[in-house]
Amino acid sequence: MSVLPGQLAPSPRLLLGPGPSDAHPRVLTAMTTPLLGHLDPQFLQIMTETQELLRQAFRTQNRLTIPVSATGTAGMETCLVNLLEPGDRAVIGTIGYFGKRMVEIARRTGAEVTVLEAEWGNILDINRIRETLKAVRPKVLGLVHAETSTGALQPMEEVGKLAHETDTLLVVDAVTSLACTPLEVDQWAFDATFSCSQKGLGCPPGLAPVTFSERAIAALKGRKTPVQSWYLDLSLIESYWGGDRAYHHTAPISMIYALREGLRIVQEEGLENRWARHLRNQKALRAGLLALGLQYTAVEGHQMPQLHAVRLPSGVDDVAGRKLLLSEFGIEIGGGLGDLKGKAWRIGMMGYNSEPKNVLLLLAALESVLSRAGVKLTPGAGVAAAESAYAAG
């Protein structure tokens, strides 16, 4: 006879990994709002409000700005399958795990993919990008803005202009950068940008904000073949989120409520203030991690403020250390991916979680875990270094 499981009551966790982050309490409250039909006039108004808030967060006027009803990887796939057809040329930059994922998706569209690769933890030089675009003349250039596997932040300010000089569409992975670090979709001339709900926006996972420029929309409308994915075909989804409001799929109502509230919180704080908050907490956490002897995987000067990837000291076991942190302190951090599997920890201070109290708590917990693994440390060094960084402003 089957046994009915009890009511959900998971132990509290502080989610300081690469995602998801903890959702803001106001977001969780918004999710308890009674359901509406996905074509109810009230819900259609909520959709319109959510779109405008997304435009503000992306810093864009793009009319095609929507949350795709799926996770961040679906945002990546949405951008690539709508813009690439069999035989098209694409250049994809890889500076870590998620660039490689973009390569795989682009290849599955039937595109001819040129991989522009940098060593994990490094960034791609603008001159290499320029030379590759001139040589290949691709339809699409895909880059990861904030590479979650290494903590490296790829400079993007000049890439859009460069891509347009070769009539190339620039696709940008902003999964870990949206609402955490400066992101200027229009000013930096991005053509297709995607993100997620569960990191900087302080919402649960389940939605992938996407925005397309007019150049990208023209490329979509000029396709010779149908979009590879029916569900992710933006020419169809646009009719639901646009003026027609034509049925495409049943939207995740409660998640739209959540995203709207998360975006409201972003706008209340102000993007510049939010970026500054992440940067202030990065300086403190970085000082503390270095004081504990942890070295960054990303090159100096290109370490993102919201995701800290650090190499494990000799003798420290990745899985055992993270299990101890979870069981004794209720803190989750992430392990390494790909080339860094078993060699690094990934620590997120994103969105709602980017607070001094979490920085100091984590550093104290990490000191305990590392000490028990045999790492020689000065007691209190991590917390003291972070407090000094905060005091310095």
> How many angstroms separate the Cα of 284 from the Cα of each of 32, 382, 383?
36, 9, 9
Given 240, 268, 296, the domain boundary residue is 268
In a domain, 291, yes or no: yes
Residue 277 sits in the same domain as residue 358: yes
Residues 53 and 189 placed together within one structural domain of the fold:
yes
Domain match, 234 and 107 both: yes
Q: Classify residue 357: in a domain, yes or no.
A: yes
Whose CA is closest to 150, among 22, 318, 304, 283? 304
Residue 4's pLDDT is 87
pLDDT value of residue 2: 75
Q: Are residues 213 and 356 in the same domain?
A: no
**pLDDT for the residue numbered 3:** 81
Cα separation, 144 vs 175, whole angstroms: 9
pLDDT at 108: 97
User: Are residues 230 and 337 located together in one domain of the fold?
Assistant: no
On whether residue 258 sits in a domain, the answer given is yes
Number of domains in the chain: 2
- 54 and 112, same domain (yes or no): yes
Residue that finishes a domain, picked among 252, 268, 284 = 268
What is the pLDDT at residue 1? 60
Nearest to 286 by CA among 259, 265, 271, 308: 308
**What average pLDDT values come out for the chain (393 residues) when binned by 10 residues?**
85 96 98 96 96 98 97 97 98 97 98 97 97 98 98 98 97 98 98 98 98 98 96 94 87 97 98 98 98 97 97 95 97 96 97 98 98 95 98 91
Among 239, 268, 297, the domain boundary falls at 268
pLDDT value, residue 242: 85
- Residue among 138, 90, 134, 97 nearest 115 (CA): 90
Span 185-209, pLDDT tens digits:
999 999 999 999 999 999 999 999 9
**Judgement on whether residues 260 and 137 belong to the same structural domain of the protein:** yes
The predicted pLDDT at position 244 comes to 81
pLDDT (tens digit per residue) in 235-290: 999 989 987 888 899 999 999 999 999 999 999 999 999 999 999 999 999 999 99
The pLDDT score that the predictor gives to residue 257 is 98
Q: Is residue 20 part of a domain?
A: no
Tens of pLDDT, residue by residue over 146-167, are 999 999 999 999 999 999 999 9
- Would 13 be classed as within a structural domain? no
Whether residue 321 sits in one domain with residue 237: no
Q: What is the CATH number of the domain that holds 160?
A: 3.40.640.10
Q: How far is CA 196 from CA 51, 174, 312, 315, in A?
A: 14, 8, 28, 35
Task: Determine the residue type at 24.
Answer: H
Same domain, 212 and 79: yes
291 with 197, same domain?
no
The answer to whether residue 39 is domain-embedded is yes
Strands (E), the chain: 14-15, 64-68, 89-94, 112-117, 140-144, 146-147, 152-153, 169-173, 192-194, 208-212, 295-296, 307-311, 331-332, 334-335, 344-348
Evaluate whether residue 6 is within a structural domain.
Answer: no
- 245 and 107 assigned to the same domain: yes
Check which CATH number belongs to the domain holding 307 and give it. 3.90.1150.10
- Say if residue 220 is in the same domain as residue 301: no
Structural domain boundaries enclosing 282: 271-392
Is residue 207 a contact partner of residue 67, using CB atoms and an 8 Å limit? yes
Does 117 reside within a domain?
Answer: yes
> Token match 């990065």: residue?
282
Of 240, 250, 241, give the one whose Cα is nearest residue 37.
250
163 CB burial (10 A radius; 0-12, 13-18, 19+): buried
Whole-angstrom distance, CA of residue 259 vs CA of residue 241: 15
CA distances from 316 to 32, 88, 159, 375 (A): 42, 46, 39, 8
At position 118, the amino acid (one-letter code) is A
